[in-house]
Structure 1
Amino acid sequence: MEVTWDIIELISKEVDVPYTITKNVVNLLDNDNTVPFIARYRKEKTGNMEPEKIRQVKEVLSEFRTVKQRIVSVKEMIKKQGKLNKVLNESLSEAVSLAEVEMLYAPYKPGSKRSLAERAREAGLEAPAEKILNNNIEIDLTSLIQPSSADYSTISDVKKGLQHIIADIIAKNTAAKENLNSICKKSYVTLESTKIKKAAPSTSKKEPKATKGKKNETSKKFIDENKFQHYFQFTCNIKTIKPHQILAINRGETNKILSVKIVIPENVKRLYTIFCSQKWIRPNATNPVRVLIEECISDAYDRLVAPQMSRQIRSDLTKNAEKASIDVFCSNLKNRLLVSTVKHKVVLALDPGFFHGCKLAVISKTGNVLYTDILYLNSSKPNSKVSEEEKLSGIISKYSCEIIAIGNGTACRETETKVAKLIKSKHFGGTKVCYCIVDECGASIYSVSPVAKEELPDMDHSLRGAVSIARRLQDPLAELVKIEPKHIGVGMYQHDLSDKKLKDALDCIVGECVSFVGVDLNTCSEHLLRRVSGLNATQAKNIIAWRNKEGKFNNREQLKLIKGLGAKTFDQCAGFIRIISGHQDTNEDSEEEPSSFPKAGSKRKANPREGTSKSKKVKLAVDSSVNPLDRTWIHPESYHIAKKFIKKTGTVCDDIGFPTFITKVKQFMKTTDIKKLAEELNAGEPTVKLIVDGLLQSINYDLRDGYEKPLFRTEITTLNDLKLGQTLTGRVSNVTHFGAFVDIGVGIDGLLHISKMRPEILVQKNRTQLELGDRIEVKIDSLELKSSRIGLSLS
């Protein structure tokens, strides 16, 4: 018997999902299906489950399987020692957390001190102890005395040995533990923290001797104790304590600033004692037996159960707080990645600086580098005949720049002030220019990365940062996939989290964002392809190599020609990859189909620059004709259903994505019941809805168009311009559990505390909390100019 629990049942309870649905999701995950694929194309089996929930099932499944594996290995190690008794075996089989498993294994680890109960068992006291507890039989203690033993040579020693075994059995009993958990959930259990009193400094003039191998105290990183002042005398119910409070207290404890403890009320012990007495003490038990068992119950609670419960509570609080912190990071990252693109605009990017100047890059509408330079906008440039402002004006005029993207790093505020004044004074002539502050997190890391060296080999690394700033404004997702996710998002106490857990969660988010947005197979970069559901770095590289050699893809089926890309991988990635040949020349508002779009079944001729195929025999195995359905997010496995539906609407596949086609589909759906339609097409309702939604999208559809857009400005507001009660438009720059930070354009983010968020505002946005990137109206509630603190409320 490895474990006594059903892993599906535990996951179902943990994530609050029906058992059958949980089982379906686990089976899909076990068959190597990715989260994006399951979320979009297996809705019938998941009950329309959101990707966040599927990801949660995946994480909890991994946790419980890790526990199961650990139980098996621990049992094997204890068994080799010859110490795997019945009670321990059952306790391990019922354990559902790593903390519980490690607690049970602790006395049996090599080099560890044996438990008191283990020593008593080795002395042969287990059988009489079980008779006392299970049968309430009175034992003659003198018969158990071992004169040759130093530990059990007296009646008192024997009695203690029996008590240790009985207490151990009671403490490990499943029913008793479940009862205790139930009691604690209903009780007022608190977490308390207090400031640790530092020892008074020594008055001795004698210099302390340097300790070999230890760092000098003065070389250690300074920790500001005042950051933890809210927790110097802190008490909170464990049911209401916030995740950020747990993480702050844990950090204070780690830095030896705070002393922390769990306080369990006395009533818990009383109720636990009543339950244990009713379970183990029979009505006809003699008084000595009754007294002995009662003492054992009290000892079990004080010495074993209460400390274990305290450790478990701390462990659970930390685990939940870390999960909440990762969730915040993931949510912020997702909203940062899905910021709307700025299409068809020439961008001039400024990476601000003082004495070393502002690095400048001009990027074309398609992301190509047109010009780079360094401007000294915030310092004087020696021997300069032309002012830096005139030079900037000349560059903007020459390249018809429409947007100035300013990185939010050092000298951002000074650069913004300069640019805003130039715009206000119409320094750029008739050119209409606005500016936007761009988050440059990770730009410096990108600038010295192998990716940047490969993309911009002849460019100085300092200028590459400016190129990245411009491109992340034009297409944030395409640029940010080149950077490690943890360098992009804004989180909460992320430095205290497990690197692996954080990386896994963030990688999942990036993969979901890239997959759901979709990539054009003929224009996307290798870095984007790596993040598509089902693909890895090698497969992405092989796809790009095939495209460079053979020319552009005509259809999704040609992916099967790629080395190392099998049927399973094709199933996972096909729906997230689109073939939109000629879409750059398409006018969305045009009623006519552009000539650049090939007809269905036609074979597009390769551009001479694309190369020519040298593998004609291989190509014969896969149809190379154009399939208009490849423009959509409809999966190839559902093409036969999509074709039946298109026939019903009276349209043709060649028109997919164009206004006339979309209008006809809309008109058809006005008089059609989706449930009845699904029955007619012999398909699941979610699949049919997915097909309809896919066919209602224009060729240039972009999921990100529905998300918040960058905030463009033409003038600047300073901190001194602010007044109490003033209403401003701001953008949410970070979200935590205690509130949100909002960029209101003064160089310092204001804090919108959770208590200042009006529920009706959130209802209008169809959600329960604000998200990174949200544009909101806020009112200045408090203003501390000296400390540069701004308090906000939702207007």
Structure 2
Amino acid sequence: MHTTAPAPSDERIFRTIAADISASEPQVIAAVGLLDEGATVPFVARYRKEVTGGLDDTQLRLLSDRLTYLRELEARRGTILNSIKEQGKLTDDLAKSIAGATSKAALEDIYLPYKPKRRTKAMIARENGLEPLLRAIQADRVTAPEDQAQNYLTDDVTTVKDALNGARDILTEELSENADLLGNLREFMRQEAFISAKLVPGKEQDGAKFSDYFDHREKWADIPSHRALAILRAAKEEVVTMEIAPDAEVGEPRAIATIAATMNTAGEQPGDLWLRDVARWTWRVKLSLSLYIDLLSELRQRAHEEAIAVFSRNLKDLLLAAPAGARATLGLDPGIRTGVKAAVVDATGKVLETATLYPFQPKMDVRGSEAKIIDLVTRHGVELVAIGNGTASRETERLVGDTLKLLPSGIKAPTKVVVSEAGASVYSASELAAQEFPDLDVSLRGAVSIARRLQDPLAELVKITPQSIGVGQYQHDVDQRRLSVALEAVVEDAVNAVGVDLNMASAPLLAQVAGLGLSLASAIVFHRDLHGAFKSRSALLDVSGLGPKAFEQCAGFLRIRDGEEPLDASSVHPEAYDVARRVISACGRDIRDIMGSGTALRSLRAQDFVTEVFGLPTVRDIFEELEKPGRDPRPEFKTASFTDGVEDIKDLKPGMSLEGTVTNVAAFGAFVDIGVHQDGLVHVSQLADRFVKDPHEVVKTGDVVKVRVTEVDIPRKRIGLTMRKTVDKSQGKAPQGRGKMPNKDKMSAGPKSAKPRNSDAGNGALGAALLNAMKQKD
């Protein structure tokens, strides 16, 4: 923690962050101190509530992000101050302006006139003695500039035109380095600029998927991220040309007038007219281009941040999806020519048996496949069948459904579930999978992964790079470093919110626990394999390389079932065990009788157990944990019931009511798996009988929802759905046809036979609507 008074720059940082995260400065100072000491966000959010005043993980993530930016800003501020000071040009007013800059852009605007640069036209003009000409024109507006220029002709400046052009170059540079002017113009552009896209002649066929942007124009400030990313990609692929500029008839004259106003050119004297011409020249040749670049950068950053936020929300929902639980599971990775890969795992995820079935062309061994499924189910007591949603998914599901009807009497039919297999092939071919299953064929590893991700989505999905899981929008267009950092934070928060079984978890899962990382996680697994299961959390300190600091960070998130210390099965941190034991002692009952009892603690008051170290927030958490030890925050497992007879898009008709599972959520709506080869789109306007600004207000990935078909486009493989209750009875559609299909590109949500299992999985179902999303103005 900070023991000395913070520097002025730190005070500025703390004040700014406090406003950004809606907290007080003392809270920010405390949190920054903990993070600087090496504490992790999950640990601070869960176990240092007294210190931070209860900042949650979302606030702490934003705090950490802003802290990095603002510290970089302060470092740059110091560099600029030193540079100008070394030039002998630092004044009190300039120092004040630099100190007052609140963004990197504003800081660089101030620094422009002092920034070392290559030799410019303005420098040459000054060397040729033309700066006095500019000052003369500015001072004397009555005399024609052409007449004044006669006095500045030399061997290097031989004509009046050359003299006036030199004066113009000096003034243009001064204007383009005027921080106040640049700030005003940038704000003007943010409010008034339009983003326009025009088709490059001859690119109609190659760029057909961008057809809705062949002649597109909308306000820069209002364009949603998915449309901005689509235009940026179209421009990158040279399908369209893109422009960011104010309206030519109204906006451009206003921009030029703003520039002219800085020179007080309201008069009609020859000097005023010349200065206004320079203002026009400066806008068209210099500032419009530089501001285009600035706004393009801001647009890209804004679109990236929104896309990353969507990806992060979807990933969190997927990671925290309901686990089916510790039950024997048959995983099926569908395929046609290469066969259906099958793997049975027991309740702990251990592989019991694998096989390959050939129920489809060319072998068509339906009976043999049915017999094998029955054999696997009966011998291993299979309770769940997980079917990957790729090629032949529905055909495989139908095969399983028919087969389960043939089970001998007395054998309970397992529940069949279609699960996303996005990223399964990435995992199968990974070094981790090779280490885990060295003797198992790559294709069979995918079936194991599919089975395990039904049992516990979180434990299995952490083995796959988040970018391969397939819940992003334009994920390969965004800043990959920023995306990676954001997604790693989501995974870390999800894992620590649920907690990890120390004696069952894989190294990849343990690596996401606060304070560990892959190296320590691998050391824990090695120690466990060598010495057997951990009997207590304190035994972690015997692991090579795991010291007190790492133990402090990770211990509370690790669980030990049936160990020597009952509290090790809870999220109570070992540092607070004494408090927990005082609570238990006050009940006068055995700890095992109390843990899990919702009534045992009702006669006690949390405030009676507060100490100098542990305040009321920690004590309340202990009470809650003793009542529900090791509680899982994830929802209860349930599956969608697909409608019989609906297996292909051709089986769908407008007005049909169906049940499905939300597979992805974007800014413009949600994709729903309704049991055919294509996910349908519920546009944001169709999510509820009220205005919905953010689809996440209504649905999240993994939700089971009831939908109604509004439109079916078989040639383009697109399905429009609605969740609205109100119906246009004549057509079975939502009012005013607001459930219309997306038409933003021809990269359709597409048949699931596309197998979105590679690193571009995020542009599978979701990629369709990003380019195909409805062009609807609310």
1:723 to 634, 642, 653: 653
Report what 1:198 is aligned to: 202
- Find out whether 1:631 has 2:569 as its counterpart: yes
Q: Secondary structure at the match of 1:482?
A: coil
Q: 1:435 to 1:714 in 2, by over 3 A?
A: farther
Task: Name whichever of 49-58 and 522-531 sits farther off.
Answer: 49-58
1:134 and 1:95 mapped to 2: Cα distance?
32
Shift of 1:430: 3.9
Q: Secondary structure at the match of 2:61?
A: helix
1:536 to 505, 509, 517: 517
Report what 2:172 is aligned to: 167
Residue deviations 1:78-110 (CA, integer Å, cap 9, x gap): 999x89999999998887767788899999999
Residue deviations 1:449-481 (CA, integer Å, cap 9, x gap): 222222222222221111111111111222222
Report what 2:312 is aligned to: 330
Task: Name whichever of 313-322 and 31-40 sits farther off.
Answer: 31-40
Shift of 1:428: 7.8
Residues 421-460 of structure 1 mapped to structure 2, 5 A cutoff: 421-424=402-405, 430-460=411-441
Report what 1:40 is aligned to: 46
Could you say what the CA RMSD is over the residues aligned between the two structures, in angstroms? Answer: 4.3
1:731 and 1:340 mapped to 2: Cα distance?
12
Report what 2:666 is aligned to: 736
Residues 178-189 of structure 1 mapped to structure 2, 5 A cutoff: 178-185=183-190, 187-189=191-193
Q: 1:578 to 1:365 in 2, by over 3 A?
A: closer
Aligned residue type for 2:647: T
- Find out whether 1:371 has 2:353 as its counterpart: yes
2:150 and 2:100 mapped to 1: Cα distance?
35
1:123 and 1:389 mapped to 2: Cα distance?
92
Report what 1:586 is aligned to: none
Aligned residue type for 1:393: I
Q: Secondary structure at the match of 2:659?
A: strand
Report what 1:574 is aligned to: 555
Q: 1:107 to 1:279 in 2, by over 3 A?
A: closer
Report what 1:119 is aligned to: 124
Q: 1:326 to 1:144 in 2, by over 3 A?
A: farther
1:117 and 1:28 mapped to 2: Cα distance?
51
1:560 and 1:395 mapped to 2: Cα distance?
42
Shift of 1:47: 5.1
Q: 1:143 to 1:233 in 2, by over 3 A?
A: closer
Residues 591-670 of structure 1 mapped to structure 2, 5 A cutoff: 598=564, 626=565, 628-647=566-585, 653-655=591-593, 657-659=595-597, 662-665=598-601, 667-668=602-603
Aligned residue type for 2:182: K
Q: Secondary structure at the match of 1:496?
A: coil
Shift of 1:406: 1.0
Q: Secondary structure at the match of 1:370?
A: strand
1:347 to 329, 332, 336: 329
Q: 1:282 to 1:728 in 2, by over 3 A?
A: closer
Q: 1:551 to 1:638 in 2, by over 3 A?
A: same
Q: 1:424 to 1:554 in 2, by over 3 A?
A: closer
Answer whether contact 1:338 1:707 (CA < 8 A) is retained: no
Answer whether contact 1:478 1:528 (CA < 8 A) is retained: yes
Shift of 1:386: 6.5
Report what 2:446 is aligned to: 465
1:564 to 545, 548, 560: 545
Q: Secondary structure at the match of 1:410?
A: coil
Residues 31-430 of structure 1 mapped to structure 2, 5 A cutoff: 31-44=37-50, 46=52, 48-66=54-72, 114-123=119-128, 145=152, 147-149=154-156, 152-154=157-159, 156-185=161-190, 187-198=191-202, 224-265=206-247, 281=264, 294-379=276-361, 381=363, 387-424=368-405, 430=411
What's the TM-score, normalizing by structure 1? 0.78
Report what 2:686 is aligned to: 756
Shift of 1:261: 0.8
1:484 and 1:296 mapped to 2: Cα distance?
54
1:759 and 1:24 mapped to 2: Cα distance?
45
Q: 1:133 to 1:642 in 2, by over 3 A?
A: farther
Q: Secondary structure at the match of 1:658?
A: coil
Q: 1:652 to 1:329 in 2, by over 3 A?
A: same
Answer whether contact 1:420 1:716 (CA < 8 A) is retained: no
1:271 and 1:45 mapped to 2: Cα distance?
52
2:698 and 2:131 mapped to 1: Cα distance?
57
Structure 2 gap ranges (5+):
1-7, 725-778
Report what 2:624 is aligned to: 693
Report what 2:723 is aligned to: 794
Shift of 1:64: 4.5
Report what 1:602 is aligned to: none
1:558 and 1:447 mapped to 2: Cα distance?
33
Q: Secondary structure at the match of 1:387?
A: helix
Task: Name whichever of 174-183 and 257-266 sits farther off.
Answer: 174-183
Answer whether contact 2:569 2:629 (CA < 8 A) is retained: no
Q: Secondary structure at the match of 1:495?
A: coil
2:215 and 2:587 mapped to 1: Cα distance?
69
2:23 and 2:163 mapped to 1: Cα distance?
51
Shift of 1:299: 4.1
Task: Name whichever of 356-365 and 384-393 sits farther off.
Answer: 384-393
Q: 1:573 to 1:261 in 2, by over 3 A?
A: same
Report what 1:768 is aligned to: 697
Task: Name whichever of 100-109 and 232-241 sits farther off.
Answer: 100-109
Percent identity between the aligned chains? 34
Q: Secondary structure at the match of 2:664?
A: strand
1:131 and 1:57 mapped to 2: Cα distance?
53
Q: Secondary structure at the match of 1:419?
A: helix
The alignment of Structure 1 onto Structure 2 pairs a total of residues equal to: 713
Q: 1:287 to 1:26 in 2, by over 3 A?
A: farther
1:545 and 1:551 mapped to 2: Cα distance?
10
Q: 1:194 to 1:93 in 2, by over 3 A?
A: farther
Task: Name whichever of 467-476 and 90-99 sits farther off.
Answer: 90-99
Residue deviations 1:716-770 (CA, integer Å, cap 9, x gap): 632344332222111101111121110111232111011111166989x996242
Structure 1 gap ranges (5+):
201-222, 583-597, 599-625
Q: 1:404 to 1:535 in 2, by over 3 A?
A: same
Aligned residue type for 2:599: T
- Find out whether 1:502 has 2:483 as its counterpart: yes
Q: Secondary structure at the match of 2:600?
A: helix
Answer whether contact 1:108 1:114 (CA < 8 A) is retained: no
Shift of 1:307: 2.5
Residues 507-522 of structure 1 mapped to structure 2, 5 A cutoff: 507-522=488-503
Q: Secondary structure at the match of 2:697?
A: coil
Task: Name whichever of 526-535 and 541-550 sits farther off.
Answer: 541-550
1:90 and 1:323 mapped to 2: Cα distance?
32
Answer whether contact 1:472 1:480 (CA < 8 A) is retained: yes
Answer whether contact 2:112 2:177 (CA < 8 A) is retained: no
Answer whether contact 2:181 2:259 (CA < 8 A) is retained: yes
Answer whether contact 2:383 2:415 (CA < 8 A) is retained: yes
Q: 1:170 to 1:634 in 2, by over 3 A?
A: farther
Answer whether contact 2:374 2:407 (CA < 8 A) is retained: no
Q: Secondary structure at the match of 2:599?
A: helix
Task: Name whichever of 681-690 and 93-102 sits farther off.
Answer: 93-102
Task: Name whichever of 717-726 and 133-142 sits farther off.
Answer: 133-142
Task: Name whichever of 11-20 and 428-437 sits farther off.
Answer: 11-20
